Structure 1
Amino acid sequence: MGCGNPFAIADLKPGEIVLDLGSGGGLDVILSAKRVGPTGKAYGVDFLPEMLDLARANATDAGVSNVEFLEGMIEDLPLPDASIDVVVSNCVINLAPDKGPVFAEIARVLRPGGRVAMSDVVADNGTTAPADGTAWADCGAGALQHDTYLAMFARAGFADTTIEYTHDTGPGLHGAIIRATRTKQITELGSV
């Protein structure tokens, strides 16, 4: 399940290194690998071994070899500092229980000038995202409010952050495309 198409806005270029947070079956990683070509690379991080196995099988079936799927949490990425050019993610950030470390990790692994292109569920300011089981299954739970999302990116050292609503997902909740650029080292981790 996803809430948008981060790949469509990532503006990937040959030779870039891409990271997909919560890569699931690997579709965005495979598409990214094809776009960056043999001089680039696409990583996928997921915490479920079953999804990593599926992603590896899908990459083999797609004939791409410039991919690597890593087991890990998006709050503690298994990659070195300043090693990534572009981070993509499709409806995953809202599912993280503590989002401060997620934003800090995105900033840590991105090179200065690196880009974020993601989709996620974003709540209207003043709206509390539902937290029941159905909301988690529908990817509505854990959604950050619009201004909180912007503030989290700013605290993590990002500029030019934009949030564009693409569709409504529930009362006060929206599927959104989010773009940001890493400009400096993180200033504080923060926690939501």
Structure 2
Amino acid sequence: MSDGAQSTERTAAAQRRAVRNRYARIATADDHESEDCCSDTGGCCGDSTSTGGSEKLGYDDADQHAVAEGADLGLGCGNPTVLASLEAGETVLDLGSGAGFDCFLAAREVGESGRVLGVDMTPEMVEKARENISKNEATNVEFRLGEIEHLPVSDETVDVVISNCVINLSPDKPQVFREAFRALKPGGRVAVSDVVMTAPLPAEVRSDPESVSACVGGASTVDELRAMLSAAGFVDVEITPKDESREFIREWDDSVALDEYIVSATISATKPAQGE
């Protein structure tokens, strides 16, 4: 293996370790504690302690009251379940499912005839999510431990892939989209909320594993994401930055004006149906 390849592997491992450590801390924080996930380097894909909470991310009162306490950690940057337009009977896969909030909302939409599968690489988050299954009486939800670059899911078994401010955390985003494509049935779709880069990040931010774990340093541009999705085989790619997201992104870090570099966006794409 070349020195460059070894250096890339070390960087990817450091990023995964930083992400896993950050979200393990969040998952194991006592319910009565206010775990400030933004305290290390800034942003954290949202923060439930920020003013406005999940309402700013696109969740209404009905969404928040539909899920038992403990699943909504306020860690997203949008509401992918709205973008997905889920239907009864569909199978949904959530990449980076955390404590399960979006999974439980999706379960409500797909009904008893549907199924929701969450995948997360942090053991503490998977444990917390599994505990939340009984709290929400969600018989059609399952959580698995795994990396989103190597999904523990069979080929062509899901109708919809959702994700909420997680793909930016991956050191190999093209592989994430290839795996999503593999898992989707022909005609299946992607519905993702994530951050996109609107201006070049300072070098010290972009190369810092802790900044990557905070949903900042790993952001890609719209053009880069579109190219990744197309290369994976997706069609009808739509990426729409949300200018209004600057309001809550500005709160992720008091020392850096992050809204000058990143915004939230909705990302949708389709796997071609058979014969197309």
Q: Once structures 1 and 2 are overlaid, which stretch shifts more, 170-179 or 39-48?
A: 170-179
Is structure 2 residue 186 aligned with structure 1 residue 97?
no
The unaligned stretches of length 5 or more in structure 2 are: 1-74, 250-257
Paired amino acid for 2:158: I
Give unmatched runs, 5+ long, in structure 1.
186-192
Asked if the contact 2:174–2:229 (Cα under 8 Å) also holds between the matched residues in 1, the reply is: no
In the alignment, the residues of structure 2 paired with residue 6 and residue 183 of structure 1 have an alpha-carbon distance, to the nearest angstrom, of 21
State the aligned residue count.
184
Contact residue 158 and residue 184 of structure 1 kept, 8 A: no
**TM-score between the two structures when normalised by the length of structure 2:** 0.64
* Alignment map for 1:153-168 (pairs within 5 Å): 153-166=229-242, 167-168=245-246
From 171, 175, 179, the counterpart of 2:268:
179
Per-residue CA shift, 1:55-95, capped at 9, x if unaligned?
Answer: 11112101111011011000000011000100000000000
Percent identity among equivalent residues?
47
Native 8 Å contact 2:201 2:217 kept in 1: no
Distance 1:107 1:133, change over 3 A: closer
Give secondary structure in 1 for the equivalent of 2:149: coil
- The change in CA–CA distance for 1:49 and 1:161 in structure 2 (over 3 A counts) is same
Q: 1:73 to 1:134 in 2, by over 3 A?
A: closer
Aligned residue for 1:106, secondary structure, equals helix
Contact 2:91 2:114 in 1 (8 A): yes
1:33-182 mapped onto 2 (5 Å cutoff): 33-124=107-198, 127-128=200-201, 130-131=205-206, 132=208, 135-166=211-242, 167-168=245-246, 169=249, 170=258, 171-182=260-271
Is the radius of gyration larger for structure 1 or structure 2? 2
* Alignment pair present for 1:14 and 2:88: yes
**DSSP-derived class of the 1:4 partner:** coil
Distance 2:184 2:149 in 1: 14
Larger strand proportion of the pair: 1
Q: What SS is found at the alignment partner of 1:165?
A: strand
Which letter maps to 1:59? Answer: I
Q: Separation in 1 of the partners of 2:239 and 2:97?
A: 21
Q: CA deviation at 1:138?
A: 3.3
- The one-letter amino acid paired with 2:269 is A
Conserved? CA contact 1:127–1:145, under 8 Å? no
* Contact 2:169–2:218 under 8 Å retained in 1: yes
TM superposition shift of 1:9: 1.0
More helix by share: 2
What is the root-mean-square deviation of aligned Cα atoms in Å? 1.7
Mapped contact 2:78–2:264 kept (Cα < 8 A)? yes
